[in-house]
Amino acid sequence: MDYKELADIIFPNAKEISYYEEKYPERDLPEGAMVTRFAPSPTGFVHIGGLFGATVDRKMAQQTGGIFILRIEDTDQKREIENGVVQIVESLKDFDIIPDEGMTGENSEIGNYGPYKQSERKDIYQAYAKSLIAKGLAYPCFATTEELEEMRQKQEALKIRPGYYGKWAKYRNIPADIAAEKIKNGENYIIRMKSQGNENRKIRHHDLIKGNIDFPENDQDIVIIKSDGLPTYHFAHAIDDHLMHVTHVIRGDEWVSSIPLHLELFHLLEFKTPKYAHTAAIMKEENGGKRKISKRKDPEAAVSYYHEEGIPTDAVVEYLLNIANSNFENWRRTNQDKKIDDFQLELNKMSVSGAVFDLVKLLDISKNVISKYSAEKIYEETVVWAKRYDTELERLLKNDKEYAILVFNIERGNIKPRKDIAKWSDVKNSIIYMYDDEFDNMKEEYAFQKITNKEEIKTILKEYITSYYNKEDTKQIWFDKMKDLAEKLGYAREVKEYKQEPERYKGHVGDISTVLRVALTRRANTPDLYEIMQIIGEERIQKRFRKWF
């Protein structure tokens, strides 16, 4: 019996591989176009590292006129959860990552190179496994768990490389008729690749991020089809990337060590190898050292965190590009108004050792991003966020949209816009004092600063409201009057004057305006006080002052 007959016994219904080669023809894309894919397992959870990878995948495809694919790798069915695919699709959508091809829902997809879920591609993998068996490049392995364990112990005792390879690979040279006999008798088996590699020979891999890396050739006869008939990741990814005509495999660097194996698979299958770019894991600083950001320890490892906190998508993507290419920051500085898509990401500028994730910096970027939004946009985005996470805020905003927009518009739209909002969950705190009921219920102490004497405070407020306040005043007049009031009550008109002769004054104009600010907002720091006063209006100002009289 020859191997071709054995292959027919094992996979009697598998199609010829030429069928698939014709079904998935070369793509018609412009020169240099990259076809990339994000290929998570459907565990539902998207890690910040996954989002980082997907951002890079999408960006590279987009900026070269290529295709970005979302493929689901569900051959390890133990790890799956219900609705795992939908959750991934939705999480990516939250960050405006919409694949050109691939899964769009739990069981829906777009594109001509599918199915895009590996469990639906069983026939395809089996066809290729069959072709390898027929060529004597793969074989059924009947090793039992006990046999494998015994082999492992022997290798350990002899202090040699573990694994199923060379002379340790007991079924590597099993004659076709004996294998056929065992199969007929119902013995359990899996399919292994018959490695042609030699551990003493070196290969050189050029990685688009890590540069040249030398490896010994692979000689392990790895499993390609498991006992449930599904492929292993290694085998499936080779076939998928080939048939989907993926040009660039961008993936986490935990896969670097599999390169010799993957190169051999591509070689045995007679596929052209894609280019590989292995991205370093995102790190977190801890006690002066660095460690991988962890799903277990760091809430910010889950992308749902950004959504819950209300950090805008653009800010997160902007930050991820920042850690992807260190020249991004400079580019942003000189191209303030450009869209993220205008930045050209380069794989060879990506960090080899792993960028450190810095939440403070992300929030800084976010403040900047939000500072450029219009009041209307802030309103809309906050309402969407609040609808899900803070219904009280939603009610407040929806109650009087016009007023809310006036509030959001304070110190906005000018050259130096306010930067006090980093996330939608900050909004409530930053506007709450503009609403009467909420103001009345504010629990914080009045944060008077330098002037704390109650009588003095009363005097300042009374003087101001009776002799200086006029709602028609322009900002300049308002400001001049504040100085007049300061002077009248024995404070310096200017901070500078006060600093020169502190003993001459009770304080300076800034101390006076702080009293007004705190009485009106209960905050020592707010955006422009004049604008706040214009919006809350005379009646409320009177009311808030009266509390002090």
Interacting residues toward ligand GLU by CB under 6 A: 39-41, 73, 233, 237, 249, 251, 255
Nearer to ligand GLU, 263 or 536 (CB): 263
Q: Is the preceding omega at residue 417 within 30 degrees of 0, hence cis? A: no
Is the CB of 293 or the CB of 492 nearer to ligand GLU? Answer: 293
Tell the residue number behind the tokens 């490389």, with chain if given.
Answer: 161
Rounded least distance, CB 81 to ligand GLU, Å: 14
Of the candidates 277, 265, 259, 270, which has an alpha carbon nearest to the alpha carbon of residue 216? 259
User: Could you give the CA distance from residue 339 to residue 332 in angstroms, rounded to a whole number?
Assistant: 9
Q: How far is the CB of 139 from ligand GLU (least distance, A)?
A: 25
Q: What is the full DSSP assignment across 93-154?
A: HHTT---SEEESSSS-EESSS---BGGGGHHHHHHHHHHHHHTTSEEEE---HHHHHHHHHH
Q: Which is nearer to ligand GLU, 39 or 492 (CB)?
A: 39
Closer by beta carbon to ligand GLU, 69 or else 393: 69
Residues near 320 by beta carbon (within 8 Å), at least 6 away in sequence: 51, 52, 55
Contact 142, 189 (CB under 8 A): yes
Q: Which is nearer to ligand GLU, 79 or 499 (CB)?
A: 79
Smallest gap from residue 80 Cβ to ligand GLU (A): 12
d(CA 58, CA 97): 7
Helix (H, G, I), strand (E, B) or coil at 501: coil
Shortest Å, Cβ 56 to ligand GLU: 11
Phi, psi of 250 (to 5 degrees): -105, 115
The Cα–Cα gap between 150 and 144 comes to: 10
| Closest chain position to ligand GLU (CB) | 251
279 vs 526, beta carbon nearer ligand GLU: 279
Provide the minimum distance between the beta carbon of 254 and ligand GLU in the complex, in angstroms, as a whole number. 7
Nearer to ligand GLU, 40 or 354 (CB): 40
Backbone φ and ψ for 17, nearest 5 degrees, come out as -65, -25
Please report how close the Cβ of residue 267 comes to ligand GLU at its closest, in angstroms: 18
The least CB distance from residue 10 to ligand GLU, in Å, is 26
